[in-house]
Structure 1
Amino acid sequence: MAVTGCPQFVMSRSVTCTASGLMCVLIALTLAEAHIRILITYPGDDTSSAYKWSIKWILYVQSIGVALGTIVPAFRWFTAARFKCSALRRKSFKNEFKIETYWIQRLVDWKESSLPLQVRHRKWKKFLHAIRRLLLNYCLGVQILLVWASKLVLLISASFFHHIKKLKIFVIRASDETSGTESGGNAQLDLTRYVLLLPGEPGIPKETLKNIWNEVDKVTEKGKRQKLINLIELLHKSNNFNGVREFESNRVPSLHSQEPPNSWSLPVVTLTCIAIALPNISNDNANQLVRCVGEGLTLLNLIEKSLDENGALAIIRNAADIVWVGVDLYCKWQDKDLRKISLHGRTSKEILEELSHEAERTVMQFLKEVKDFLMDNPLNWPVKIIAANSMYRITQTILLASGNMETDEGLFDHLSIMIADILAASLTNLPHVITIKCHHNSQKQRQNSVRQAALLLGETEEILQILQQPDAG
């Protein structure tokens, strides 16, 4: 639907564009005839023209340009004429030359509308209006003549191909009777009901629809080759969505009368910072978690942007993105090295308390220094403060939930499962996001949006299968 409704594709299958294709073919043949005639008339004579030896190169360059410019229009004319020949008997001769309203509607509207100029004298206004109507009537006549001539060209071309097709069918039947073979075919998916057609347009060739369908399949296959392996490995750790409820507790006192709204990405980034800051965690495990979350965030950003149509949570997404840049590239949170913080024999509880105190200090210092009433709304806070508030609430929640602190490895696994739960819960929105991309309102962006949806479907096919498993909910 997106391809067949594209304005460029609609124009390419119109009768005027088809007639121009035949004109290109005729021009190319005329140039070929002139080229052959010159070779016959002046064999090996380079002095017959004022351009002397360069005349051959001029002809070569012109011939190459015409050939390249003729290929696509010629195929377009050939396809339209071949498809038209199969529908010759469906319409009467009169209906074949009927001018559809969309060819002249704009000119008719201009002719009937009032003058755009402000003219005070009624006689002059009437005179100008009559002149404009006369000019537009002339334009209407020219437009109708061009469309009618284009339809005639298409009809003649279709009749020509129809006779060739009849001859070809006769030959094939004779061959089949001789060989005694029967032809069979596989059932094809009927895509014609999804095609957007102009009024009076008979349809689109099956080969064209098949090419469109194959293009979608190729994009989907490309997405399958780019599947997010690390993210899939992390999602296998999630068997429910408990992490969505556990990462933040209502028992943690707020630092401000209003709390910033949460997104999917910010708690995931914050939990990742805490996990890689824990002591006795190997670099391989920490780096693997960063790779998994990095792949997940590419999908989370897409989901959040699609669901947040008004952009109300853009500042929250920006905070998560800025924090993630520091984590992914430098293993830092708010200029604090997350790997060095675990040195000097500190326990997991001590590290959580240090991150919590640092985050609380950052938020409280900001609230004391800033007296602007606009800052009462957390959505107006700087991204650094929003990220610090998230760190404070999540670290305090973990400290409250861990009366007897787990081992470092156990806490790391627990946080990884929480991250996997949040990612899995957010990724359940993928089918909705893919659907939204397939229903893009802008004609200019619809085709590209559908192509992105097909690519996304290929990339996330295995992820969607994981989320549909009974133990994923």
Structure 2
Amino acid sequence: MDYNYDLVDDYDQALSPLNRCNNISRNLIDELWLVLYKLHQQNRFSKPMPTIGMYIALASLCCILAMVADFLHSRKNGKIWIPCKYFTLDAVSLTVIAVAMKLPMDLTNPMPGVMDEQAKLGSVAFMCIMMTFLLPSLATMNGKELVTNIIALGLLVITLVVNVCIQIHTGLVSYSEDKHLSDYYGFQKSTDPFAYANRAIAISYVAMLLMLLMIYICSALMILKSKQDLESKYQAAHERALIVQQQAGQLTVENLKQRVINYGIMAATGSPQLMTVCSATSSASAVIGLSISLLHAAKTFNIYVTRKGYKAFDSDYKWSILVIFIIQSIGIALGAAALFYRFYAPLTFKLYREGKWNLFKFYDVESCWTHTLSDWKHNRLYSSSSPNFNVVFYKLQILGLTLLTLSQTATVRTCKAIRIIPVLISICVRQVLRFVKWVVSLFGIQLRKQPAPNIRQYVLQPQDDMELPDALLYFIIKSVERSIQNAEKQQPSKLMKLLENFRDFEGVKKFDILLVQSSPGLDYPNCWSLPVVTLATIALSLCKIQLSTLKNFLNGVSEGLVYVKLVEKSLSNKDELVSVQTAAERLWLEVEVYHKWLGNHLQDPDFRVKTAIQIVEWFNEKATNMVTVVGSMDICANSMRRVTQTILLFYQNSIDKISHEELFDELSSMISDILAACLTNVPQVIALKCQTSAIEKREESVHAAATLLGKTTEIIKTLQARQLPNLNPDDLPFIDKWRDHLTAPAP
């Protein structure tokens, strides 16, 4: 042991009166001295504990903010089932949750204060609330992610349960110096009925944690099968939608709006998270979460009323305990408010149509709950070279999966029994709402506009015994329409200003005439963005143009390239074009940010004394010298060489007469024509975004399509008013096909 000799002198002075007492042995004095020293060391080691407490509070606050973000997002989009978007079960959230659970994981620090004990128990309650809140996020994962995250959560929960059980056994979870002293000396015994309830509350929390973990495992097994069922329903609705779309003809703005709404209904009603929220396990977990929040509130109220004279906090965490308790209590309250909506999830649907349901059928366990286990039972999960081992292992596999199936069935029936509470309440509330609706209808008032009757063909029922009401469809439609309307206020004004120079797609065939041959081995295909970037580079180097005009031009091209990239990534993403598109994207970054082209300044002082054609010749000379360089520079230089040679050929008879302004107008017109030709594919991009294949991303993709439609409404109307070339629809996404068609001789 390393002694602090200054402290030795202090302890000797403190114990000097005892040294003068003849009836006290030296060994006792040495033991007292050692006790004082150990107490000092313990106090020194416990100094960082308040900082650790604030770290716990910060982690808890992060979880709460994520839950609030999900709640606000759901209210904004009219989703009363509160899907998990920001607070999901993943490695980051599990790490933050583990930090927030530091108090119940602590096996050594005593919690003598009343608030200390309540904060430790409150952390366990907060864990239960977070598990209940995170349950729908399981539906956003694939099979591998489900297994990984369930195992990680299970390890965290089991570790927490074991630690709490140890503290229940040792009495640390209900430790109180005042109680132990009063019991030992026989005075001031507490008459508070909650004085010895901490142990029972801790046991209840442990039981609920284990129940929630079983619900997670049960839900994960159900989700794997239910996603397949939802996918088959979606494909059937998709086939119906395709028939309607073929009958509608051209993709006008109105047709696109209806298509986005139809697919929005399919994506929202076929959401895996909505399917999970509608399940019995979700309803049961919501009831468990609300029960825990009520128990926590009752215990907190009892402390406030009956224990004002007790020490609030007296652990090594000191004042940080109060911060942790307040933040996690807020989290429990907010989580309970969110779970209140899920508790009434049956109100969103017509459960057991016309309120008639069979109690025995109510306890039936649908095949989706046991389908995955049944598949595993009929397949060999492991095989070795030993036949005897294979036989033994397969029998053990059958036994284990049979027990799991029985456990799964028991869990589902337990959850359905708990679910009776919200179902009965929902039936009562539904009757009240029907009465209110009837009373309101007597005055000729319609509460909300009813959806069109044919819209129900796009509704995917989350479960076979559920029917979505018109109110939910109304909210889904309004959510999609709101996305379109909000986006309509964000029209790309600079791009629309640039498109005023549109000249019936003439620039598509003029930017690179076929007379200009590529160098051997440098015959790259053209994408939409590369010629736009190349032409814009030349235009931005014309120094005699006003800066305000150049700035507006730059902003217009930047806005246009955003939509060009969407078209290229969605429709013209062939392997031979990807490298060209990447080179164009990198080149535009250099031009837009650094005002350079392949390392050369666009605002070169020498350009001020050069004519417009001399600037073009300078670019042509630089590009010709660079075309031998391999990589993206090679692609960009070759494009510049072809474009500049085309310009020089076009103006070969008027080299000295063309001005900066005239060349700028010509380049702007060509860029406008190319952008207009490319943007004729935007309706196809919107339609493609509506029908993404990933079930977890369909809602997000539909809202992205709605936003794109809103922003490009005016552009689509403008371009559809023009006469398009008679191209094969499959050729429209490719600029080379456009150029070949426009330059082909008339028949």
Q: TM-score, normalised by structure 1?
A: 0.83
Q: Distance in 1 between matches of 2:267 and 2:437?
A: 37
Query: After the TM superposition, which residues 309-328 of structure 1 pair with which residues of structure 2 at under 5 Å, given as runs?
Result: 309-328=573-592
Q: Which amino acid aligns with 1:271?
A: L
Query: After the TM superposition, which residues 61-460 of structure 1 pair with which residues of structure 2 at under 5 Å, given as runs?
Result: 63-81=329-347, 83-84=349-350, 87-89=353-355, 92-118=358-384, 120-122=386-388, 125-166=390-431, 169-170=434-435, 181-184=443-446, 186-189=449-452, 191-256=455-520, 258-278=522-542, 280-340=544-604, 343=607, 345-363=609-627, 366=628, 381-402=630-651, 403-405=653-655, 407-408=658-659, 409-460=661-712
Structure 2 SS opposite 1:239: coil
2:450, 2:470 within 8 Å by CA — same for their partners in 1?
A: no
Task: Quote the residue 1:16 is aligned against.
Answer: 281
Q: Distance in 2 between matches of 1:449 and 1:167?
A: 38
Unmatched 5+ stretches in structure 1 = 368-380
Task: Quote the residue 2:721 is aligned against.
Answer: 469
Query: Aligned pairs, how many?
Result: 452
Unmatched 5+ stretches in structure 2 = 1-265, 726-747
1:342, 1:351 within 8 Å by CA — same for their partners in 2?
A: no
Alpha carbons of 1:256 and 1:450: their partners in 2 closer, same or farther (altered >3 Å)?
same
1:219, 1:454 within 8 Å by CA — same for their partners in 2?
A: yes
1:86, 1:162 within 8 Å by CA — same for their partners in 2?
A: no
Q: Distance in 1 between matches of 2:433 and 2:272?
A: 35
Alpha carbons of 1:288 and 1:29: their partners in 2 closer, same or farther (altered >3 Å)?
closer
2:350, 2:468 within 8 Å by CA — same for their partners in 1?
A: no
1:279, 1:342 within 8 Å by CA — same for their partners in 2?
A: no
State the shift of 1:290 in Å. Answer: 1.7
Q: Which amino acid aligns with 2:363?
A: F
Q: Distance in 2 between matches of 1:279 and 1:56?
A: 66
Q: Distance in 1 between matches of 2:397 and 2:608?
A: 89
Alpha carbons of 1:84 and 1:157: their partners in 2 closer, same or farther (altered >3 Å)?
farther
1:277, 1:341 within 8 Å by CA — same for their partners in 2?
A: no
1:235, 1:420 within 8 Å by CA — same for their partners in 2?
A: yes
Structure 2 SS opposite 1:236: helix
State the shift of 1:108 in Å. Answer: 0.9
Task: Quote the residue 2:226 is aligned against.
Answer: none
Q: Distance in 2 between matches of 1:343 and 1:160?
A: 79
1:251-300 Cα deviation digits (max 9, x unpaired): 12432255111111111111112223346433332232222111111221
Give the structure, 1 or 2, with the largest relative contact order (CA under 8 Å, sep 6 or more).
Answer: 1
Structure 2 SS opposite 1:352: helix
Alpha carbons of 1:165 and 1:248: their partners in 2 closer, same or farther (altered >3 Å)?
closer
State the shift of 1:412 in Å. Answer: 1.9
2:487, 2:710 within 8 Å by CA — same for their partners in 1?
A: yes
CA RMSD of aligned residues (A): 3.3
Alpha carbons of 1:131 and 1:295: their partners in 2 closer, same or farther (altered >3 Å)?
same
Q: Distance in 2 between matches of 1:336 and 1:58?
A: 58
State the shift of 1:329 in Å. Answer: 3.0
Q: Distance in 1 between matches of 2:348 and 2:571?
A: 46
State the shift of 1:465 in Å. Answer: 1.8
State the shift of 1:21 in Å. Answer: 0.9
1:351-393 Cα deviation digits (max 9, x unpaired): 3223222222322xx27xxxxxxxxxxxxx3221221111111
Q: Distance in 1 between matches of 2:670 and 2:313?
A: 83
State the shift of 1:145 in Å. Answer: 2.2
Q: Which amino acid aligns with 1:27?
A: I
Structure 2 SS opposite 1:118: coil
Q: Distance in 1 between matches of 2:492 and 2:715?
A: 9
1:279, 1:348 within 8 Å by CA — same for their partners in 2?
A: no
Alpha carbons of 1:95 and 1:391: their partners in 2 closer, same or farther (altered >3 Å)?
same
Comparing 193-202 with 133-142, greater Cα deviation is found at: 193-202
Q: Distance in 2 between matches of 1:426 and 1:139?
A: 57
Alpha carbons of 1:249 and 1:151: their partners in 2 closer, same or farther (altered >3 Å)?
same
State the shift of 1:84 in Å. Answer: 4.5
Q: Distance in 2 between matches of 1:284 and 1:345?
A: 21
State the shift of 1:346 in Å. Answer: 2.9
Task: Quote the residue 2:173 is aligned against.
Answer: none
State the shift of 1:438 in Å. Answer: 2.1
Comparing 87-96 with 235-244, greater Cα deviation is found at: 87-96
Q: Which amino acid aligns with 2:683?
A: P
Alpha carbons of 1:10 and 1:354: their partners in 2 closer, same or farther (altered >3 Å)?
same
Q: Distance in 1 between matches of 2:436 and 2:648?
A: 85
Q: Distance in 2 between matches of 1:290 and 1:431?
A: 25
